Structure 1
C-alpha cells in the first residue's frame, strides 16, 4: 500500500538499494516501496524474494560492488527502468577478528567492499542522477564504529567505514549545484545477522547494556531514516551523518 500522504515526495521515484538481500537493506527496500518508490533491490546474493515482497514495481539485480563491470550493468538496468533519483548503499562486510590476527587477505576483502566498492558504486550513481537533471539523493551507510573505533573484533570494519564520512563531504559539494544531496547513516547495534555473526550471547548482552535504550534497533527503523534522507523534507541537508544508536554514542 502506498502511503505518501505526509508529503515526502517519494512516490514514483526510482531508487537503487544495495545490500537488499537481508537485514537493513531488505528492510529499507520494503519501507521505500510502501512509500511508493520504485525500488531496484540489488545484492551479491539473490534478492528476488525481497523484490517480490516489495511489489510489482520492484525489480531484483545481482551486483558485486567489488566488480566495476557489475556496477555498470546495475546502472544500465536502472536506466532501462527510467530516471534514477536515489541510491541507498547498505552493503558492508564485517569479518570479526581480533586486531592482532587480521591478515592481508581479510584487510583487502573489507577494503574492497567498504571503501573501494562504495567509491565506484557512488560515482556511477551520482553521474547517472546528474544526467537525469532533476536532482536526487544518495544515502551511504557508515557505522557507529567509525566514530568509536569499534568493539568485538571490528577494528578493520570501523577503519574502512570511517572513509564514508570523508566521501559524503566531498560529494555533497559536487552534488549541491545539481540539487543532489549526499548523506550518511551511522547505525549502532541493529538486530541483524551481521550484528550477531561471531558474537556470543555474553558479548551481545554486554553490547546491549551499553545502549541507554537497552535494546538493539529493528532493521525497519533504519528504513524510516533512509526514507527521510531521500525525501523532500531533507532537501537542505547534505554532507551530514545521521547517528542512529539509541543514545550510545552522542557526537
Structure 2
C-alpha cells in the first residue's frame, strides 16, 4: 500500500501537477500552500505559509502520520533582479525566505514524522542552480543553488533514520502557469536552447518524483536528478 505524500507549494505549477499524478497512482495526497488552487481539483488542502514559523509548526503538528510517507517541497518564487549591480537586500530576503529558509523549516518540523515513517523527501530545485539563468532572477539562481547543499547535508544527517532525500533540477515545464506567463514566440526561443528541442511535460517531472518517493527507491539519497532535456549541458 502506498504511503501518503505532502506537497508544500502544491497548489500550482509542478507541485499541483505532481499532486494530481500521485493521486492517480494511489497516494494519499495533502497539498499545502498560502491559498487553495484556482483550478477545480479534488485534493486535500491545508494552509501553510512557509515564511511563518508558527504556520509551519501548526501544519505539521496536525498532519496525520499516514499522510506523511514523503514530503515534496515545491514552493518557490523569483524576482526581477538580473544582475548583482541591481541587488537589493530586501528583495533577496523575500526570495530567500521562501526558497531556502522555508525549505529548511519545513524539513525541520516534518522530521519527527519522517523519522517514524522512514520517509522520503524530494526538493524541487531548478536548472538555474546547475548552470545559470537567462530568464530568472539573480536571487532565484543563488537560492535554488543553496538547496543542493541542504540536500547533501541532510542525506548524511538523516541516513541513520532511514530517510532518503534528493533533489531534482527541472527546466521549464509545460504547465498552465507557463502558458499564462510565456508568449508562444518566447517559448520557441527557449525551446531552441534545449537539446531535446522542447520543454518538459508535467508527467515527465511527476514520474521521476514518484519513483524517488516510492518503495522502488531504496538506495538513492543525496542525489540531484536533471530533468531538463539536457539543457544543463548547454547552459
- After superposition, the Cα gap between the structure-2 partners of 1:148 and 1:214, relative to the gap in structure 1 and judged at 3 Å, is same
Counterparts of 1:206 and 1:97, CA distance in 2: 21
Which has the higher mean CA deviation after the structures are superposed, 100-109 or 111-120?
100-109
Counterparts of 1:193-208 in structure 2, within 5 Å, are 195=178, 201-208=184-191
Deviation at 1:212, TM superposition (A): 1.4
Counterparts of 1:144 and 1:168, CA distance in 2: 16
Runs (4 or more) in structure 1 with deviation over 3 Å come to 47-51, 192-203
2:55 paired residue number: 70
Runs of 5+ in structure 1 lacking a partner? 1-10
Deviation at 1:154, TM superposition (A): 2.3
Asked if residue 32 in structure 1 is aligned to residue 22 in structure 2, the reply is yes
Check whether the contact 2:194–2:229 (CA below 8 A) recurs between aligned residues: yes
Runs of 5+ in structure 2 lacking a partner? none
Counterparts of 1:155 and 1:136, CA distance in 2: 33
Residues 60-109 of structure 1, C-alpha deviation per residue, up to 9 Å, x if partnerless?
Answer: 10111010111111112213x53621100111002233224342222111
Asked if residue 44 in structure 1 is aligned to residue 29 in structure 2, the reply is no
Give the match's secondary structure for 1:236. Answer: coil
Asked if residue 181 in structure 1 is aligned to residue 164 in structure 2, the reply is yes
Give the match's secondary structure for 1:186. Answer: strand
Which has the higher mean CA deviation after the structures are superposed, 206-215 or 112-121?
206-215
Counterparts of 2:58 and 2:37, CA distance in 1: 16
Counterparts of 1:97 and 1:196, CA distance in 2: 23
Give the match's secondary structure for 1:42. Answer: strand
Check whether the contact 2:5–2:67 (CA below 8 A) recurs between aligned residues: no
Counterparts of 1:118-133 in structure 2, within 5 Å, are 118-130=103-115, 132=116
Q: 1:154 aligns with which of 125, 137, 145?
A: 137
Deviation at 1:148, TM superposition (A): 0.7
Give the match's secondary structure for 2:103. Answer: helix
Give the match's secondary structure for 1:82. Answer: helix
Asked if residue 15 in structure 1 is aligned to residue 5 in structure 2, the reply is yes
Counterparts of 2:66 and 2:216, CA distance in 1: 23
Deviation at 1:35, TM superposition (A): 1.4
Instruction: Please give the root-mean-square deviation of Cα atoms over the aligned residues, in Å.
Output: 2.2
Residues 104-159 of structure 1, C-alpha deviation per residue, up to 9 Å, x if partnerless?
Answer: 222111001011111100111122211x2x41101101111001121124222011
Deviation at 1:194, TM superposition (A): 5.6
Asked if residue 241 in structure 1 is aligned to residue 187 in structure 2, the reply is no
Aligned residues: 233
Check whether the contact 2:28–2:67 (CA below 8 A) recurs between aligned residues: no
1:5 paired residue number: none
Check whether the contact 1:152–1:199 (CA below 8 A) recurs between aligned residues: no
Asked if residue 116 in structure 1 is aligned to residue 101 in structure 2, the reply is yes
Asked if residue 97 in structure 1 is aligned to residue 87 in structure 2, the reply is no
Asked if residue 88 in structure 1 is aligned to residue 72 in structure 2, the reply is yes
Give the match's secondary structure for 2:231. Answer: coil
Check whether the contact 2:34–2:48 (CA below 8 A) recurs between aligned residues: yes
TM-score normalised to the size of structure 1? 0.85
